[in-house]
Structure 1
Amino acid sequence: MRNVVPTSVRRWKKGVAVMGEGQSPRAGIDRKAVAELGTEVLDWRHKAVPAALHGRTAAEFGSGSVRLSDLQTPLLTLDDAALRGNVAKLAAWCERHGVRLAPHGKTTMAPALWAAQLEAGAWGITLANAAQLRVARRFGVEVLMLANSLTDPQAIGWVAGQVAGGARIVSWVDSVAGVRRLQDVLDAADAGPLEVLVEIGGHGGRTGARGVDAALEVAQAVRAASRLRLGGVSGYEGALSHSWDEAGLAPVRAYLNDFRRLHERLAADGGYDTDEVILTAGGSAYFDDVVEILGPCAAPGVEVILRSGAYVIHDDGFYRGISPFSRQNPDAEDAFVSAMHGWARVVSRTEPGLAILEGGKRDLPVDEGLPVPQGIARELGAPLQPLAGARITAVNDQHAFLAYPAEVDVRPGDVVRLGLSHPCTALDKWTLMPVLDGTADPANPSVVGTVRTFF
């Protein structure tokens, strides 16, 4: 991944993002540990790597000498230019709007991508559970947000130990019972204090205290707990809607207005235990609404922090249609670009107009829409030809059903490139993915890096 932002990440090398001159010390990640991913020897455990390339390190594999045509299917690839562009676009947008970004790292679980996001100015990395936090700490991420409540005693004790050792880990709490649970476990371990944010939820949503009054009760309980410190307000609007029409935006905006009222009540009553208040919301679908409603709350001592995570990979499905940058025109110049594609061969063509591909649920995401055929070629690395009228009608564990017009010439062994929806359930199926650069040869791009995941 080269030239993500002009002052920081310059290129992909040895399977990781490598810093250029003038690197910023603000990025709290162990760049040496990330770079060491390039020394991993590739073998049968890496399903994206054909047997002919076993024995190479990730650095050698991603050095530019391997081409798309050298790989095997089924396959998921990442695009170098799209990754760079997506990271830079949201970083610049956040800077223009005076907000920070703590990207949700659970989307990729890829330290190399976290490094690129941190070097582009991210406040820290958001994660969803203690196991993911351990991955981040292994790679030296210093500032973390747990977008969840801590209830497991092992996790609470581990987080308290990490905080005592100098890490900053901010977690959430959404009930008085949850506050008591934290306090009791920390009392027993004689540990803490921990920094928590009171989470406000929306009716029909996921977690979070339901409504301003309930959230105020939680905040009061936190302030009364000797081993906790109230650092702000948190929440997630994305679970309230899956569309951006007027009906879809109404519950999102109503929720965000409740969020703002909660903060204003706490601020007016001196309800925070810190001089650096955090207000955090915002997935990858409605971050513009978050900034419109919560952005005016930003002030000295108050930071509005988005947590968008899917944007770095983006997609050709759900996020392409709902992202604030592409709702009106998915192909707009400033829109995010899908950085992931699936590749699968035809293994069977036993009925007219129906071909069976080798990639299925174990290889490709299907929870937010089926893959979309984007082109067909006789071999990997050959120019793609249009597949007008073709569609994926169903998927099994290891197969996909490709329906196509009878006049289209489809043969066993042909390769279909697939547009995918929902990066969160795409990357978790691959331990290592090649990063492609098609600058010199768009049909047969070079492998210029690798992304290693830890799901």
Structure 2
Amino acid sequence: MHKNDLDTPYVLIDLDKMEINLATMQANADSAGVSLRPHTKTHKMPILAHKQMDAGAIGITVAKLGEAEVMAAGGIKDILIAYPIIGEQKIDRLIRLAKQTNIIVAVDSYEAASAISRAASRDSNCQVGIAVEIDCGFKRVGVGPGDPALDLAKKIVQLPGIRFRGITTFAGHSYDTVNDKQLHDISAHEGHTAVETAHLLRENGIAVDIISVGSTPSAKYAAQIPGVTEIRPGTYIFGDIMQVANRAHLLQNCALTVKVTVISRPSADRAVVDAGTKVFTSDGDDSPFGTGRGYVVERPSLVLSWLTEEHGMVIVPPEHQDLAIGDTLEIIPIHACAVVNMVDEIAAVRDGKVEAIWPVWGRGKVR
């Protein structure tokens, strides 16, 4: 099947570009002497997690317990859940999962760690890895670096049924940088903060195996900090306009596009396509290239100006007056991770030919 035979809207992955992205990030990690533990919230598919591990990744990262369950069912054996697990129902699921695969949970409170400990210690066949998440400036979750992290770690290492593994952090504010120096400085601070906190723990007799940092924007810089053991980029596998804007990805290597059809030409300067916020979502700022809510491949002067639930409104300049009802376009989205979570399946394409249709098994797994 050719990609032109796919009905729309349809999400496509260019396999050649994706493979370049996989190899590039793995080479970045290898050259820095750190491990790669990619965040699979971007693609939510075990088949792509296996491709990342085949390329050299040591394991994966997920955001939610439901994503971890999907990945474990798909044969992934080393999973970091970069999200506090709170509540009896979730902890019961976590314990079941920890019996079948190696699990590490990032926590920022004694309450979270002790609840996991109580559940894990009831089963002699279960041990859950725990890492302390520190806040390096993003102000989302995470205990303070230094002494606050040490105080929490001292309590955690006394708990039965768990194994203390180390430190995680996330410099989400790296997405707001406007130049390479800002990005470098925030990324370096992320790495140094994590390493210095780990050193403090070790000085106090607490073993630290993992110092885990980095997003797609910050990974290449944070990886260079001596002592960092692993990086956790996610969106790098596809790229998107958000990552291009953050200087973390090349536009020509963006592998994920949304194929859409022109369904209306209400006026000479306007067209409407068959995908709105229920495909592209409303996440992220408009394109820095002046192309609106995406970037139309091969017709970059078209502007996806605004969206309703099922409609995408396109501004059509004079040079594209040939755009007709029934024509198809491919659009690089603002945020690939959000788009993937909106669809049931994705087409894997090489040289225009559909090699596979991949179900998005982790779609909607937000619990």
SS of residue matched to 2:306? strand
- 2:32 counterpart of 1:97: yes
What corresponds to 1:48 in structure 2? none
Question: Shift of the alpha carbon at 1:130?
Answer: 1.4
Q: Determine whether 1:367 maps to 2:272.
A: no
Instruction: Pick closer, same or farther for the CA change 1:407–1:96 going to 2, 3 Å.
Output: closer
User: What is the one-letter code of the residue matched to 1:398?
Assistant: E
- Partner of 1:318 in structure 2? 242
1:425 to partner: Cα distance: 0.8
Distance 1:248 1:324, change over 3 A: closer
Shift of 1:153: 2.0
After superposition, give the CA deviation of every residue in 1:60-87 in whole Å (9 maximum; x if it has no partner): xxxxxx1123222222211121122111
2:107 aligned to which of 161, 173, 179? 173
- Indicate the residue corresponding to 2:270 in structure 1: 354
**Contact kept in structure 1, 2:133 and 2:169, CA below 8 Å:** yes
- Aligned mates of 1:261, 1:446 — CA distance in 2: 50
User: Does 1:288 pair with 2:223?
Assistant: no
| Equivalent-residue separation in structure 2 for 1:152 and 1:361 (angstroms) | 32
CA change 1:109–1:269 in 2 (3 A) is same
Determine if contact 2:134/2:194 at 8 Å carries over to the other structure. yes
Aligned runs of 1:28-427 on 2, under 5 Å? Answer: 66-165=1-100, 167-186=101-120, 192-239=126-173, 241-245=175-179, 246-247=181-182, 249-272=184-207, 277-293=209-225, 296-297=226-227, 304-315=229-240, 317-324=241-248, 326=250, 337-368=253-284, 369=286, 370-375=293-298, 386=299, 388=301, 390-406=302-318, 408-409=320-321, 410-427=323-340
Distance, in Å, in 2 between the alignment partners of 1:433 and 1:232 is 36
What is the SS of the residue equivalent to 2:310? coil
The letter of the residue matching 1:448 is: E
Quick one: distance in 1 between partners of 2:360 and 2:69?
14
Counterparts in 2 of 1:409-448, with a 5 A limit? 409=321, 410-438=323-351, 445-448=352-355
After superposition, what is the alpha-carbon deviation per residue over 1:232-282, rounded to whole angstroms, capped at 9, x for unaligned?
11111124542252445544433432212101111222212x7xx011111
Secondary structure of the residue aligned to 2:320 is coil
| Greater CA drift, 243-252 or 420-429 | 243-252
* CA distance, structure 1, for counterparts of residue 300 and residue 239 of structure 2: 23
Provide the residue aligned with 2:289 in structure 1: none
Amino acid at match of 1:157: D
Check conservation: 2:272, 2:313, Cα contact below 8 A. yes
Counterparts of 1:75 and 1:322, CA distance in 2: 26
Query: Is the contact between residue 190 and residue 222 of structure 2 (CA under 8 Å) also seen in structure 1?
Result: no
- Write the deviation string for residues 372-430 of structure 1: whole angstroms up to 9, x where unpaired: 2234xxxxxxxxxx453x21110111111111224532322222221222211111122
For residues 287-317 of structure 1, give each alpha carbon's deviation from its aligned partner in whole angstroms, at most 9, with x where no partner exists.
0221122xx216xxxxx111111111112x1
Q: Distance in 2 between matches of 1:256 and 1:174?
A: 18
For 2:211 and 2:231, locate their aligned partners in 1 and report how far apart those are by CA, in whole Å: 9
Point out where structure 1 has 5 or more consecutive residues left out of the alignment.
1-65, 299-303, 332-336, 376-385, 439-444
Kindly provide the amino acid, as one letter, of the partner of residue 339 in structure 2.
A
1:21 match = none
Contact 2:174 2:218 in 1 (8 A): no
CA contact (8 A) 1:241 1:252 kept: no
Q: Name the CA distance, whole Å, in 2 between partners of 1:242 and 1:427.
A: 23
Cα shift at 1:108? 0.6
Q: For the Cα contact (< 8 Å) 2:183–2:217, is it kept in 1? A: no
- After superposition, the C-alpha distances for 1:209-239 in whole angstroms (9 at most, x for unaligned) are 0232211111011112123221111111124
Distance in 2, matches of 1:352 and 1:174, equals: 56
* Residues 320-365 of structure 1: per-residue CA shift (max 9 Å, x gap): 2324465xxx55xxxxx11111222222222331111111111224
Identity %: 20
After superposition, give the CA deviation of every residue in 1:18-53 in whole Å (9 maximum; x if it has no partner): xxxxxxxxxxxxxxxxxxxxxxxxxxxxxxxxxxxx
1:453, distance to aligned residue in structure 2 (A): 0.9
Q: 2:242, 2:175 → 1: CA distance?
A: 12
DSSP-derived class of the 1:106 partner: coil
Residues 216 and 244 of structure 1: CA distance in aligned 2, closer, same or farther (over 3 Å): farther
In the alignment, the residues of structure 1 paired with residue 295 and residue 102 of structure 2 have an alpha-carbon distance, to the nearest angstrom, of 42
Q: Please, what is the CA RMSD of the aligned residues? A: 2.2
Give the SS at the match of 1:429: coil
SS of residue in 1 equivalent to 2:257: strand
- Consecutive unaligned residues of structure 2, counting only runs of 5 or more, are 287-292
Find the residue that maps to 2:223 and give its secondary structure. Answer: helix
CA 1:325–1:132 in 2, change beyond 3 Å: closer, same or farther?
Answer: closer
Q: Deviations over 1:139-174 (max 9, x none)?
A: 121111111122222332333333344x21011111
Residue in structure 2 matched with residue 4 of structure 1 by the alignment? none
2:221 corresponds to which letter in structure 1?
D
The code of the aligned residue for 2:94 comes to V
Q: Secondary structure at the match of 2:275?
A: coil
Q: What secondary structure does 1:162 align onto? A: helix
